[in-house]
Copies of this chain bind each other. A is one copy, B any other.
Amino acid sequence: MKPLPKSQHPARNDLYPSRKWGVAGQVRLRKDPVIYEGSNAPPSLELTQMDTYKKQGFIVLDDLFSEQEVHLFKSELDALKQSKSICKSGEVITEPDSNEVRSVFRIHENSRLFSKLSRDKRLSSIARYILGDKVYIHQSRANYKPGFRGKDFYWHSDFETWHVEDGMPRMRALSVSITLTENHHYNGPLMLIPKSHHHFIACDGETPKGHYLRSLKKQELGVPSDNHLRALVSRGGISAITSKPGSIVMFDCNVMHGSSSNISPYPRSNLFFVFNALSNKVEDPFCNLPPRPEYICTRRAISGI
C-alpha cells in the first residue's frame, strides 16, 4: 500500500487551519514571533522602527531608492509587460473586466535587474534580521493597477493563502512593496490594518482546484467575515500608505490588507517581493490540492539570500 501523501496524513500538524470544515471564524493567537532577531540588526534601521514593525505589523521607509533607480525599474517594467514570452507564460494577469495588465509575476527570475534588486542589501538585510534566518524569494511580482479602471483588492492576510494553498508552515515571511508611482490617498493606495497580524482568522469556504486563476484577478476566498474585519479595524484603525516613488512598505505576512478601486488618472504601480525564511520552506498545501505553479510560489528554484 502506498503511503498517504504528507498533506493527507491525519497526524500532520496544522497550526493555522482555515477553509476547513468546522474552523471558519475561529480566531487563534499567533503562535510565531513577529521579529525573530537571529542575525545582527542592520545599521539602516532604528530600534523604534523595529518596535513599530512588531506592534503594528509594518513600517514605511521613505526614499530608500533614488529617482534614477525608480526610473530604471519603470523602464524594465514596460519591457516586461511587452515581452511576448512572458505574456505567453501565463505570468501576466489582466484586470477582471478588461485586458489591461494587472500584475506580472516572477520578476526576480524574468529580469536581471529585478533579480539583482531582490538580493539588494537594503532589503535583504532587514528581511534577514526580522526573520532571523537566511531568506529566499517566495513570490515576486509587479502590480500595475492602471488609472480609471483599477479594481479593488479585498481585505486578506497573505499568510492565510500561502499557508492553505502553498503549504507555508509558519508565520516567518514578510512582503516588501517598492512604490514606483506616487501613492495618493485617492489612487487606491495599500491599506493596512495595524495590529491585525497578532491573530489568525480562519476563513470560510473550500478551495476549488485552480483557484489561483481567479483569485489573482479578484480575491473572493480567504477573506474574513464582516464582523471580524469590524473588530480588527475598531482596534487598529486603517493606515492608507501615501508615499513618494522609491519608498518601501515592509509588512508581516499576516497583516490584513487591501486597497480601494482607482478611478483617478494616476496608475499605482509597485514591485513586490516576498521574503521567506529558509527554515520555513513550503511543504504540501494544507488544502490537499496540487501546489500552485512555480511562478506564484517558489518550490524548486530556492536560492538563499
By a beta-carbon cutoff of 8 Å, the part of chain A in contact with chain B is 147-148, 152, 154-155, 184-186, 188, 191, 226, 229-230, 233-234, 238, 240, 258-266
Contact = CB atoms under 8 A, between A and B. Distances in A.
Contacts of A261: 152, 260-261
Contact of A263 (B184, B186, B258, B264): B258
A128 to B, nearest CB: 33
Given A147-B226, A191-B263, A233-B265, 20 more contacts: A148-B226, A152-B260, A152-B261, A152-B263, A184-B238, A185-B186, A185-B240, A186-B240, A186-B260, A188-B260, A226-B265, A230-B265, A233-B266, A234-B265, A258-B263, A260-B260, A260-B261, A260-B262, A260-B263, A261-B261
Nearest to A146: B226
18 contacts: A147-B226, A148-B226, A148-B229, A152-B261, A155-B263, A185-B186, A186-B191, A186-B238, A186-B260, A188-B260, A191-B263, A226-B265, A229-B265, A230-B265, A233-B264, A234-B265, A260-B261, A260-B262
A187 to B, nearest CB: 9
Contacts of A238: 184, 186, 264
Contacts of A233: 264-266
A258 B260 CA distance: 14
A271 B153 CA distance: 28
Contacts of A155: 263
Contacts of A264: 191, 233, 238
Contacts of A191: 186, 263-264
A75 B55 CA distance: 39
A140 to B, nearest CB: 25
A265 B196 CA distance: 15
A299 B230 CA distance: 43
Contacts of A188: 260
Contacts of A260: 152, 186, 188, 260-263
A234 B152 CA distance: 24
A240 B264 CA distance: 11
A238 B188 CA distance: 13
Nearest to A185: B185
Contacts of A240: 185-186
Nearest to A188: B260
A234 B261 CA distance: 20
Contacts of A147: 226
Nearest to A262: B260
A78 to B, nearest CB: 19
A258 B185 CA distance: 14
